[in-house]
Structure formats: C-alpha cells, structure tokens
Structure 1
Amino acid sequence: MGTLWCNGTFYTMKVEGQTVEAVFVENGTVVAVGSRRELERAFKDQLDEVIDVNGGYVYPGFVDSHLHMIGHGETKVRLDLSAVTSAQEMKRLLKEKATSLQEGEWLLAEGWNENHFVDRNILHRDELDEICPNHPLYITRICRHAALVNSRALELAGIHLETHDPEGGVIVRDHKGEPTGYLLDAATELVKDVIPEVSDAYIRQALELAVDDLLSKGLVGGHTEDLAYYGGFERTLTQFMNVIDGHRKKFRAHLLVHHEALDEMKQKQYLFGEQTPFIELGAVKLFADGALGGRTALLKKPYSDDPSTSGVAIHSEQSLKKIVQLARECSQPVAIHTIGDGALEMALDVIEQYPLNQGRDRLIHVQVASESLVERMKALPVTLDIQPRFVISDFPWVIERLGQDRMAYSFAWKTLLNAGLACAGGSDAPIEPIDPLLGIHAAVTRRKQDETHEGYLPHEKLSPFEAIQLFTKGSAYAIGKEHSRGFIAEGYSADFTVLDQDLFRIAPDEILSTTVLMTVVDNTVMYHYEFT
C-alpha cells in the first residue's frame, strides 16, 4: 500500500527551480511525482495514507557527508568548550568540572579553540595542574588534531624530557625540552592509550543523543568515521546496529572504516557494503595530515606565520602506499583526510599509482590546493568532501597562516565545482556545528550572520542550489547512490527534509532562522517539530 505526501512545495533538485505538488511512495521508494489530483486518480487502489506537510518546503533528505557521530554525541556528555572565548573562561569551566569528579577520575573535555581568544593563549601544563591537581586531564582541541593535558596525564602516559616524538606527531616542548602539555596529532595517542575504555552504555548513550540531534536538524543520514576509537570495530558497529534498528530509529549511516580497524573487521569476517538496510560499511579511512589551527596540516611550503614548520605528515609515503594497497586488496576506495596541499599531493601520488577498479575515492576537506593539483584531481574518480562552515571558523586568521599567495586555491568551493569536480557537503561535527542549514548559509554567504562584508573570498560563494546539492546529490554521489538517493524522483528513496521556508527565495541570513518541520527517512517521520 502507498502514501501520498501533499500540500507543500516539493523541490526535486533534478533541475534548479523544479517543483511538484505531491509525491506517491510505496515500500519506502518514490513511485511517482506530480499533482495531488493526478496521483490520487492514478493510485486510488493502492493509496492508504495521506500525509499533509502543511505548506512546508520539501527537499531531498539532507545527508552530512563527513562527521563523527559518536564524537558529536560526546559533546552532549562531556564538558563542551567550543563556545569559550577566553582562557580565563576555559579555566573556570574546567575547575568547576573538576569539583564534580570522583577521586582519580579523568577530566575529559572537548572543543577548545585558542583562535577564539583575544590573546590566542594556549594553556601550559602548569596552569592545568593548578586547575586540576588531583585528576588526569585531557582536553581535545576543536580540530581533534591536538590536545592539552596536565602533568598527571603526562606521567600516566610516560611522556617526559627524553620521550621522542612519535611518527606523525609532536610533543610540544619549552626551551628546556620539557613537555608543555600541548600534544599534536599522533602524540595525542600516547595519552589516549591510558585513558580508561568507555562502556557500551556510554557509546550507546552518545550515539542515541547524536542520532536524535541529527534528525532534529533535518538530516536523514550521515557518512561517519567512528570505528577505531571506542574499544574496537565490532563493539562500535554493534552499538550502531542497536541504536539504528530500522524500527524505533531509522537513519542512513554510512560508516567509513579506519585503516586501523581493518584487521579486526577481517578477523570477524565482516564484509564491506550493506550490513542492514540503514547501515553500511564504506571506504577505508586514513589521515594524511593534521589541521590548520594547530599548524599540523601539511603544506608544500612553510606556514606564513611560522616559517619553522610546514606541518605534519601522519604517514610516510611508504606507509601511505601500504594502507592504500590494503584497501585495493579489498576492492575498496579510500577516504583520505587531506587539508594541506602537501598532504593532497601525497594522496594523489599514491592513488594515481594504485588506481581504483570501481567506485570513487574520497578526498576529505581539500582546504588548500593549487591549479596543478586541481587538474590532477579532475583526471581521477574522486569525490571531495568539503565543509562550508570552515570558512566561518577559520577566517580571517587562516589568511595569516597561509599568506595571500595560497588563498587563490584555499577554501575554494566554487573553483572546485567549476572545474567539474564532484563535491559533497558535511560538517565534520563535532568540529563544526552539525546543522546543515549553517553549512548552506556558509556556502552562500561566506561570512557570519552579524557581519556586513561581502564574504571572505566572495567569488567562491555558491548559489543556494549548489549549496543544497552538496548535502543531497553530492552526498549520494560520494557513496555511489546517485541513482537512488539525493533527488525527489521516481525510483529514489523516500527521504525528505521539510522546512518552513523556501531556501531559494528567502534572503541568505533568513536561512539561519529556518525551522525543520519534519525529517522523513524511508517514508517514516523520524522527527516532527512541536509547535508551542
């Protein structure tokens, strides 16, 4: 039997501006689109449910192409420092949190960003010791490529004056060579390894909070990377299956498989692809570099505001090749985190050497490129996972990091699209806010709501159609689902995001005041706005 969705404006996203009055769905798939009258007449014998969207504007279901779902849920469990604007405020919140802990319990916090501080001060371990003398402390930077720890945490991890930097990481030191408590990329793993393992209940709680929040933001799915951080591949995958059961909770979770999880995945005899109708295992994920905020993104030339460094290569060229080879042995694409142009060049060198037989590789972030690197990407079966909100977070300080000469191909979303490159839109939550409307607004305006300038690098602004496509067509294309997801059309999944405003007709800043009325997954209303 079938469902008729009606009384709204349904944007097919097949052609800019194309709308229909109603949609008929059977078994979770769109059977036909058209006027309400013609669909009621054509399917009168199959029609058993009519859903009125109450004048809403209906789009293909928004999908976040790159995030960390459990990590996003953790921001609702742990102390969240992402809104902190000064070192003093950060100290106060940490001290308050410490008073609530049991003896010996770790103080774990998320999301600090010194670029939001007037003095850009990075706390020293001595300051952290004063705040938290009796508990080991670990604070993740907003980029998740750096962390702050106190002396107790350093001691438990065995990090001291003689400790060597691990491959792909840096232990920041003072003039005497003593660790300052600031750890970059792989150096953070030395401390993570001694933090007590979280419980299954913790993972489930964080994941449930994340899924509920994503649905409330109009997201019907997400491409997420979580499988190597919470006690193992199978343990984490089991919680995804428990939470997204296809009955109580529907959400389309496409799980990237971190290369460090591959061995367990093979040992437990899991196969890539669909695990349930709502959960699938996708590309092999690896990191080529870090992030611009902590100057660990790998650049071809030194940082303009710190010529002593060009960033950090997480893997040697040989190690990178080995991981890509392992993926190819499984006939799988890779998804490579590449922020700097140096990392992008390394990634392209390897995937050109080991071509993909089927599917598409994914290059995640691509914040710094060049004309020659764009030309090389055009010749490959690749999709770019971009995060429009990075423009809001990283400008204007990123200009100091990179210098004007590199800006022509940095955060260059329009340039990438005009080059014919396939791009998908995501948030990288919890690094950026999960809300896709914030991402769409950032892509269209390239500035904060309260700013009046024409946008950072205004020639790189996207049209509303291009911006929405990132989270619909683009996310579907990235995982080879372009013939079944990303449009409202015959044969496509009945996944819809219903809003109270027409994103094509309102002023750009009104995007931020738009309300999600419904989130529909597999023809099932998974979120409904409650009017007060």
Structure 2
Amino acid sequence: MKAIWHGGFIYTMLEEGDLTEAVYVEDGVIKGTGSYERLKKKYGSPETEEISLNGAVMFPGFVDSHLHLIGHGEKQLQLDLSALTSKEAILQAAKEREQQLPEGDWLIGEGWNENQFETPDYLVKHDLDRLFPDRPVLLKRICRHAIAVNSAALQAAGISRNTPDPDGGVIVKDANGEPTGLLFDKAQDLILKAVPPVSQHYVDEALTAAIEDCWTKGLTGGHSEDLSYYGDVSVPMKAYEKAAASGKYPFRCHLLVHHEAVDRWEQLEKPSGPYVEFGAMKIFADGALGGRTALLKEPYQDDPSTNGVQVHDDETLGQLIRKAREKGMEVAVHAIGDLAFEKVLNAIEKHPPKNGRHDRLIHAQVLNDELIEKAARMPIALDLQPHFVASDFPWVIDRLGKDRMNTAFAWKTLMSKGILCAGGSDAPIEPVDPLLGIQSAVLRKSSHEQNGPSYYESECLTVYEAIKLYTEGSAGIIYKETSRGKIAEGYDADFTILSEDPFAIDPVKLHLLDIEKTVINGQIVYEK
C-alpha cells in the first residue's frame, strides 16, 4: 500500500518543534518526508492514496514500555474494582458478579485500592465470608502484589495457621495466628495455584480485547509481561500467534519472558513477523509501596515494623541474572524500593550484559542521589510509569516520609543524567491511556484531589520530554531507535493522530484530546 499523509501538523520528534508537511508511506515503511508538492511529484501515482489529516496532529506511534497486555484485557472481561471507594461497594459488586457465575466457579475481581476508602483498611476474609461462605473468592489489589481471599479460597489452597510464609512472600495472620485472608507477593502463588486453569479461549479473548482497547488510546505497541500467568507458556504464546503474529490484530508486541517460564519458552516454536518479538528475562526484586512490600533501606515511615519484602535473596538474584546471560538474554527487573534497586545494580555489576546492550530496571520509584549517579554509569535503562504520581500521591508521602521524597518518582532528574528512560502504564494496574501518563509526567498532580498541588514540581517534565518517553524512549529501550519512535525515512509507519496539538493547549486538558486515528505498519487500525 502506498499513501501520502498531509493536511495537518506532523511532528517528527527528531527534535523539539520539528514539523514536516507530508509523509510518504509504502509497504508499512516511511519512504519520504517533506513538502506535500515534492512528495506528490515524486511518488504520486494512480496506486498512491492521498490521506488528509484534516487539521489533526500526527506523532510517531505511542508505545507503552511496560504493561501486562492479557491482564489489561482481563480487566475488560472481569469484575473491575478500581473505581470503587468503599468495602461496601466492593462487596455489592462482587455479589452482583456472583449471579453471573456457574456454581463452583471462583469469583475473581481486580483492582481494589484501600487508599480510596474513607478508612484505608485492607480487605480480609471476614469481609468476604459472610457473603461468600462456600464459593472461593479472590480479589486482587490494584498493584497485583497483594490479594484478599475468603476462607473457602484459603481452604482450597490448603493454607492454615501452620502454613509458613514462602520465600519472598507474606501470609498475614492475626493475633491468634490465623490467616486473615490477605497475602502479599510470592504468598499469592499459593492461592493462584489452586485456581482452576483458564481456557485458551479466555486468554485469546482477553488479548484481543486488550489490543482493541489499546488502539482506541492511540497505542501502536506495548512491551508486555504475561507469559507465566496462564498455565503453560504455550497458552499465551498461542494467543499472541493467533491475534498479533497472524496480522489479524496488528500491534507491536515486545514480550518479556518471566524467569519461571524461560526454560519452557525455549522449547516452544516462537511466533515471528513484524508484530511479535521477545526481549529480556523478567525478574521481581521486591513488591510494591501500596502493601508496604517494596524493599527499602530504612523502615516505612507509617509502619516502622517493616522495610518491605526481598523476593529473591542476593545469591538467587545473582544466579537468575547469570542464567539470563547463559541464554544470551538481558534482564528486566521490577525494583521499586531503594534497597531493591541497589541489590539489582550490584548483581548486574557482577554479571553485566554484553557490550552495547543494557538491562531494564522497571519502576525505579524510590532512589537516592548515590543510586542515581551509579545507575547513570551503568549499562541500564529505566521503564517509568508517570501515572504512579497521580495514583500514589498524597498517601505515599506518609508512607515514605518527606526525606525520601526528594529523590522519589524523580523522572526529570533521571532523564537529566542521560539515563535512557521509556514510558509505560503498568496496565492493568494503572490506566493504559498514554495521554494520562504524559499528563501526569507534566503536571505531577494527584488524581485523588480536585485542584490539588503539583508534587515536587522540579521533577515535572515538559510535554515534549513526556511524549519522548512513549516514542523515542520506548523504541530505544528495545534497540529500535533507528526504526521506530520518529517520523523519518526508513522508520516504521506507526502513527498516533490526535485531535489537537498537545504543545498548544493547557496541559490540564491533555487527557481530553481525542485519538483521531491509530496507524500501524501503514494500516489504519482505529478511526474515531
């Protein structure tokens, strides 16, 4: 297919403010940019379509550098609790959902957040047991590092007062030693293993729902981690083969491979083509701030009895990174707390990636000056989730204490040190909409407050810097800096087309921009 795009504002992202009048695309690749008349003269033919932007604003395709694509689709299919602001509302929604379920099925919900309640108390089994005495219930906290379950689910998983905490996890128990129904990090696996396996059809449906939703948000691709959560690795692999690799649902899927899935993954035939590829080996170093399981150097300000959870001891972390190197892979490590981040940097120092390659550290929320300087000297890149600012403030200040906040969520500082940074959502934990991420990076305001302040304004990004995270950053972090993330000759014809110019409006209105079209490989996959 040949097409000349023109008649709007086309930001190349080659440098700030750089515009081109028109773009010529052939077979999914940009073959020329420049004046409309010149391109028309050079490439115009009966087969060349002319597509007017009608005054809309074109960017290189926005790519989410860290999400769980199938999990995002599940949120469309399952009970979504993320907007509910009380235990009562959650219980009512769960009871309504139960009416749609066959007898014996587990009731599974996603996204509760006690920080939205008037009194921020966790959900526990006593909340659930009175409404669900027999059916197992599993409700995932928004961070996916904690779950609340009822007694029937504990029983199905064989968890009792005598069950010890697994490595890297916590089974919360009351004063009498009884499990409360709240489980953190690796302890969740004890429950998840008891849940009946999902069907191939369910995973297929979740993935296609996710891709279709991402198109409507202007996303042309995503770096996803979901190969180890749906039974055998072949199940999600088949879903990606059927949906994306086949070209039926075009979307640039770059897949991380969880260390628990990597051996089995190696044995399988891999989907290929322009829409599915595989990247680094995923490891978790700690938990999350919401459940106080992110691993900190000093105890939590609002609970000095803990400084978080170390998912792997130092020796195991080193062994896992060495395993990746033996397989010719980089690592992508979830590290939220400063102590987790430090331990990961130390392990990478001992087992560095090959020359010219880099490892990915995901989240990097709580750091200090020394760690930032060390990271800038090392072969690493960072996956940032700007919308965490909107979700975690103001409660995170009480959790961490003001002293630690000066180098927390420090996106501007990290970018100013020359560290390669990419932008993502961590969907389904945060909304997948990249415009919300861009807006959060620019404004640094809480979504829990009407007309609230900007938090730590010195870390606010410009609109250009924020968009770069989702274009140049998301391309560079997977070594695609010469083929994606810019509008230039030889680059992939992936475009996000907005209704208005984000550089010309008040950033408070960024989330109100419409997605006019989403274009992948030269093909319009979504049109308003």
Q: What one-letter code is carried by the residue in structure 1 that aligns with 2:504?
A: R
Q: Aligned-pair distance for 1:88?
A: 1.3
Q: What stretches of structure 2 of length at least 5 have no aligned partner?
A: none
Deviation at 1:54? Answer: 1.5
Alpha-carbon distance in 1 for matches of 2:76, 2:441? 26
Question: Match for 1:435 among 433, 442, 446?
Answer: 433
The aligned counterpart of 1:287 is: 284
Partner of 2:343: 346
Matches within 5 A, 1:12-411: 12-45=12-45, 48-268=48-268, 270=270, 275-357=272-354, 358-411=356-409
For the residues of structure 2 that align with 1:266 and 1:387, how far apart are their CA atoms? 30
Structure 1 residues 103-112 or 444-453, which shifts more? 444-453
Aligned mates of 2:37, 2:417 — CA distance in 1: 42
* Contact preservation (8 Å) 1:340, 1:369: yes
Match of 1:497 in 2: 496
Matched residue SS, 1:310: coil
Structure-1-length-normalised TM-score: 0.97
Asked if the contact 1:94–1:131 (Cα under 8 Å) also holds between the matched residues in 2, the reply is no
Most deviating of 123-132 and 477-486? 123-132
Q: Is the 8 A contact 1:95 1:131 kept in 2?
A: yes
- Cα drift, residue 100 of structure 1: 2.9
How far apart in 2 are the matches of 1:133 and 1:102? 16
One-letter identity of the residue aligned with 1:438: L
Distance 1:172 1:248 in 2: 45
Tell me which residue corresponds to 2:485. Answer: 486
Any unmatched runs of 5+ in structure 1?
none
8 Å CA contact 1:275, 1:281 repeated in 2: no
Q: How does 1:467-486 map to 2 (within 5 A)?
A: 467-486=466-485
Other-structure match for 2:518? 519
Cα distance in 2 between the residues matched to 1:321 and 1:269: 28
Deviation of 1:46 (Å):
8.4
User: Is structure 2 residue 444 aligned with structure 1 residue 446?
Assistant: yes
SS at match of 2:516: strand
Could you tell me the percent identity over the aligned residues?
49
Superimposed CA distance per residue, residues 305-338 of structure 1 (whole angstroms, 9 cap, x where no aligned partner): 0000000011111111111011101221100000
SS in 1 for 2:204: helix
Separation (CA, whole Å) in 2 of partners of 1:528 and 1:45? 25
State the partner residue of 1:460. 459
Distance 1:506 1:44 in 2: 35
Is the 2:245–2:274 contact (alpha carbons within 8 Å) kept by the matching residues of 1? no
Of the structure 1 ranges 260-269 and 463-472, higher mean CA displacement relative to structure 2 is found in: 260-269
Alignment check: 8 A CA contact 2:245 2:272 kept: no
Partner Cα separation in structure 1 for residue 19 and residue 499 of structure 2: 16
- Note if contact 1:425-1:475 (Cα within 8 Å) is conserved in structure 2: yes
Contact 1:170 1:184 in 2 (8 A): yes
How far apart, in 2, do the equivalents of 1:9 and 1:507 lie?
18
For the aligned residue pairs, the C-alpha RMSD in angstroms reads: 1.3
The 8 Å contact of residues 2 and 46 in structure 1, kept in 2 or not, is answered as: no
Decide whether the 8 Å contact of 1:4 with 1:47 is kept in 2: no
Secondary structure class of the residue paired with 2:130:
helix
| CA positional deviation for 1:512 | 1.4
Amino acid at match of 1:133: P
CA deviation string 1:274-313 (max 9, x = no partner): 8221100100001000000000000011001000000001
TM-score, normalised by the number of residues in structure 2: 0.98
Q: Please give the alpha-carbon distance, in whole angstroms, between the structure 1 residues aligned to 2:486 and 2:290.
A: 36
The one-letter amino acid of 1:115's match is N
Q: For residues 164-191 of structure 1, give each alpha carbon's deviation from its aligned partner in whole angstroms, at most 9, with x where no partner exists.
A: 0000000001001110000000000000
The AA in structure 1 aligned to 2:481 is: E
